[in-house]
Structure 1
Amino acid sequence: MGWSAVEIEAARSAFDTSGQHVGARDVIAREALRPEVLASWIRSREAGVDAARIGARFLGHTPEVPPVVSAADHVFDEFVTANPGSGCSLVLLDSSSIVRCRRDDGPELAAVLDGLLVVPGYGYAERQVGTTAATVALHERADVAIGGAEHYHWRLAGLAGAGAVVTDPHRGEVCAAVWLVGPASERSALQLPLARVLADRISERIAAQPHRRTRAVLDALERVRAADQWVLATDGDLLVSSPSFRRLSPTDQRVVSDLVLSALVLGQVGQRHVELPSGACAEVTLQPIHLDGEVVGCVLGGGRTQHGEVAETPEAVRRQGSHVAPLARRDYTKDAGPARTHADAKVRANRELLSPYLRARQEVVASIHHGRNHLLIGEPGVGKRTLVTAQFRAAYPTGRVVSVDCSSFTGRYGVDPVRGLAPTGDGRPQLLVLSGMTTLSPVGARKLDEALRPLVALETPPLVVGCVDSPAVDATSPYGLLLRHFHEVTRIPALRYRADEISELALTVLRRVAGRCSLRLSLQVIRVLEGYAWPGNISELEDVMRYVVARKTMGEVQPTDLPPLCFQGGARRMSMLESAQCDAIIQALYEANGNRYKAAAMLGIARSSLYRKIDAFGISYIA
């Protein structure tokens, strides 16, 4: 039989006035306090808990949501939805006694808990607020109910709660505690078993989390699955496919699987046109896989384009010159029906032509997930190392990155360029970036080749990415000896081919180099930057932004604030890629009768991007 609040307050008085534990022994003799409650009072007093104020402090949130928190969110939401009017609040404290989530049944109790700082992100340990059901449960590793005057802090005496520990089913350790709390006047013997049920449900959900992701991927595969259709579904680790897809050649399978992996990482879903290495074309649809409101995977469905779906481009719409109109009016009724598939494919092909950096990023993402060594080529300063490092960090936040500057590697004996890639034993993915491979000497290339060979024998071999500061691969150079270590080659386009991204890149670089300076770019400055050839690529863009910051600390950057080099360079000869982009824009303008809105839709790009490219290429008005 429990004791009354008056008797517990008398025990508190005896506890507070005893300098030693004599008074505490008297309390135990009268059995007014349970041993676990008395032990918590003693720990609270030794920690110097101030019973006159709540000592909780905001400690912040974790960058990633732990599995126990996501599981508790779902379990708490289910309980509150199924039991309206329960009159209690559900709180989860992690193993460090930090409040991670809370659900309230009514505004009155929520206001009380807010005033007591029982708020997500606040530390609510025993050394800060004294005795609570959750703190005692975490310390004793056992379920416990604490109510009314049993709380050490007098402001908590109006509450009654039960704490139940949550055990991680994978590690067998206590990872959190469920605190079911309500008014002391409504204290019930059912609080403790209810808290225990909620804690068990959270543990079960943590145990089933990997299987739930797998189940979601398999369910998505079944939903999209159709006869003679390719279907792939992945969550980044697991990749399942239909029998029709597995009948493709290995090279075609790799291209399609790379596409679904890159779509998952980059979030680019929808219809896509794919050109396969076997020479066939395919139309596929990419859809996200959702689980508890989050994207956990991607599913691809589609197949080869049938011969009847490809319509030959009418002769009347073929451009006869850079600025010469078609010979005859186009019959737009031919676009109805099966020919529309070809038009959609043309839009997607134009989008890839006008956005070359997107295709390069997709190839890098796919190689990272497949563990294929990649060789990145391109002009100096295009951001090869930055691209692969950023995508690797996005895929593996805890992975390790080791960089080797080939320009400083002379191949001296006794120097191991990959010494930082020793087996860690913790299973963390590793990335080795070889920058400046064109500067390798013959001796350095041979020593680097000898150092890379043993990596394939490791239990988890690192991902190797090489950076060649050249738009083409020269197998006769010293670094040609290392080409056998790479499975893929991707060309990173120069900055002058990425006119659509120059404004965003300039703003990003400006924020990084400006520090506390408050600067913004005017529209005139963006036009100047988009019209410049950028022979030094992103490195030159960074130098220009530093020049601006050194001479202007706040306000809007005007063209007069830019260095003179940004206004140099008249007409230049277009490259093959720029010529192809220009031809595609002119063709679209002709087909749209000069309507730039329709032309942008036909090209699959934004209207503002079309305007910038028209200005950059000097395309005259077409009507």
Structure 2
Amino acid sequence: MSTDLHRHPHWSGIVTSNFDANLTQAIKEDFLGSTVPQEIRNIGLVESWQRSQAALGAPGNVGPVPHVPEALLDEHLLAMLGAPMNRFAEDLEGTGLALLLADSRGQILQRWSEDRQSRSHLDRVGTVRGAVLAENVVGTNGVGTVVATGASVQIRGTEHFADMYQDAVCTGAPVLHPITRKLLAVITLSCDMTPRSDLLKPLVKSLTAQLEQHLMSVEQPGAREMFSVFLDLSRKQNSPVVAFGPQGALIQSSTAHQLNAHDMNLLRSLGQEDRPSGRYLVELSSGLTQLDLTMVGQGNNVVVVGAQAARKTPSRPTPPAPRMAGRSPEWLAVVNHIDKLRSLNTPVILVGETGVGKTSLALGIPYKAGTVPGSMTLIDAAERHIVGTRQWLGRVIEATQARTEIVIRGIETLDKPALDGLRSLLDTRQPTAPLLLTLTADSLTDAEQFERRFDVKSVWIPPLRDRTDDLPDLWRTLADAVAPSAKLELTDRTKELLRAYSWPGNVKELRQLIIGLAARGKSGAIQPTDLPTPMQSAKTLTLIERMELEAIRKALQQASGNRVKAADILGISRATVYRKMKAYRLGT
């Protein structure tokens, strides 16, 4: 840069990395009111201001953001990129960041705002689906300027041409076709002004790299055929349509946002089981649902998610994919969190009391001895006591080298040499497949030593007494599995007693209860007198007690089981939390 430029008032500040809103505003006003020095005309921001001024005149001429009808938006592009964008957006909750996908003309195809702050930010500046943010429409911004230049940009506050964006930071990057290198889309992270905005640049760059890799997968011959089938079915259906490829490539229609992460994993596993094309019944989080599966070549499949089905045996029965019972928010949050961690291929410890279903969650299906999905390896830590530490660790090494998904059950039974050996294996393992370990413990606090030893994340699996809303669903699923001919049903009063019971044995105890009732010849409606004596005398909570219990449960969940933090959240003493937890048998 020439010395003349540095002597020019205001203009030298345009090349500094530290953002100064007042200085930038002065620079912009200087530019808009005078001739730009020749030396500065190659700077991208100023060139954007020049284009904006040529198209719009003064910043005050920028009116409300125009919109195009949704029918004119490129739904095919949204279908190709929507799924990886959804996965990325899930991690933005609580950050105040909003994620935008625009086409090559600067039209917003979709926005993702995971919290109130980011939604308020987008609404305030009129950035909604169909909004046109081209540079010649609203001036310099993190969408239109990327379209105009084909390069990544970050536009902060007063660097925007229009005054309405002066409190925003927009970090945008182009998504190029992996073969032709033509501009396909623009990805933008938008938020209120933040002092750490430089961190957003590598974040957007990483996302665009992932999207271009995703597009490369879709460009494979088999995937192109799958995409053609997907588009044809999407035109004919108003319900969610999802397509999967062998490398995990995923395409989804605009209505597929109704499906959560757990549902998506079930749909993916359905196609991976090499089932023939046809109609299936699968239990999704919303209930028993009809699916139409179309296989397209090797490893590619398209699933149409239909309406919920009536609970009756179809004329041509098709075995439904096994599922985990429970639809309470607490349970689904845990299931979805595990699914997300599983996708990272890093070790995860599932912690919970005995009988809560840790092994089933790790496998992704209800666990039965001797039945493990073909794509997974289950290793029981207790086998070490029989075969010895060396041979047991050898089996773990063998499973790791096979690059299959591994579940190691019951690591609390391992002694120090075995734990040290397992840690050494995990430290040298290549993260090519998920690895889940289960640990029986009374609280997440008890698992801290294992977290430190293995340097992994832990997930607390709630005991049955903390998710009693799932009892009817669990009862129906277990009764159908272990005693289908008995048709065991719960009366309302029996449900109340079961909800009030503490369930020290958790789901395993519930299963044994059902087996015991069937063995005694019980069938049909189960009355309170049919229950064991401890369950008949369970204390039913009052409305106030139920509200108090729910508040403590939520605080413990927010605090990841830490009782001191839970007390702070509730605004009560630690001693009171301990006393209430003991009274309600929480974590005891």
TM-score with structure 1 setting the length = 0.36
TM-score with structure 2 setting the length = 0.38
Larger Rg: 1
